[in-house]
Amino acid sequence: MELALKLSIVKGNFLSLNYQYELASWIYKVIERADANYSQFLHNKGFEVDGRRFKMFTFSQLDTRPYEIVGNQIKLLGKEISFAVRFAVDSSMEHFIVGLFKQQRFGLGDKNSVIDFEVTGIETVAPPLFQPIMKYQCLSPICISRMRDDRTAEYLSPETPGYGKLLVQNLVRKSHALVGTSDTTTPSEPEYRFQLLNTPRKKGVHIKSHTAGHTQVIGYLFHFELTTPIELHELGYDAGFGEKNSMGFGCVNILNPRT
């Protein structure tokens, strides 16, 4: 399910360029206030298969227009911003999740700048009609990584050979985790085809800035065409493509044929 959230500014107008971790933390807090057990499950375990854990939600980057970039901050020039948040949940949960976000008020930012927001609009968005072949544009960076010999993460560009295979394997693992089936280290692959449609743009996102746990995650913004079973398209759209979806990675939109 997808929610389109509209936020009104209560106080402040400067926001860090690296807000994704703080926004993800707010989403967790909203869930926790309604259901502490479910929130703890998502935070500590999530949906697990083959040693990998998935939270099964994602969100887009903030639409902050109009704005200016001032150093490492965004200066908001308007009074409202918006973004999308998506959950891979049963339809029976939709009414419950909508209620969680109504009239929420929260501060978003780091030690250098904070903006107080209030949720003033919330809309359930009808899902798109999925086909085996779909074209997408990234609303937030897609992150795909593999482990180097020194156990550090190598973040891959969609131009890397084998990228499409890793993208689809991730979707298969999510599918197995969601229904609670066991899996092997190399999940069976459906027939697929991945095609990059434009030049990807690299985007580094700082997580836990100004703390001892600071790290940087690298993703890419791009357009792509994917051929795969319809159920994997639906799961990627709702839960996110690639890794670290609950940190705001892998949110996509359907690519307009004229784009």
> Do 2-125 and 133-254 fold alike per CATH?
yes
What does the alpha-carbon distance between residue 183 and residue 76 come to, in Å, rounded to a whole number? Answer: 46
Q: How confident is the model at residue 257 (pLDDT cuts 50, 70, 90)?
A: low
- The CATH fold of domain 2-125: Alpha-Beta Plaits (3.30.70)
For the stretch 185-235, pLDDT in tens is 444 678 899 999 999 999 988 887 767 777 889 999 999 999 999 999 999
Give pLDDT tens digits for 133-179. Answer: 999 999 999 999 998 988 888 999 999 999 999 999 999 998 887 77
SS3 of 148-197 = CCCCCEEECCCCCCCHHHHHHHHHHHHHHHHHCCCCCCCCCCCCCEEEEC
For the chain, domain boundaries: 2-125, 133-254
The percent of the chain in helix, strand and coil, each rounded to the nearest 5, is: 25, 35, 40
pLDDT, tens digit (0-9, with 9 covering 90-100), for 100-122: 888 889 999 887 889 999 999 99
**The pLDDT of residue 54 is above 60:** no
pLDDT band of 259, cuts 50, 70, 90: very low
Amino acid at 21: Y
Q: DSSP states of 72-97 as a string?
A: TEEEE-SSEEEEEEEE---GGGHHHH
pLDDT at 1 over 90: no
Architecture per CATH, domain 133-254, reads as 2-Layer Sandwich (3.30)
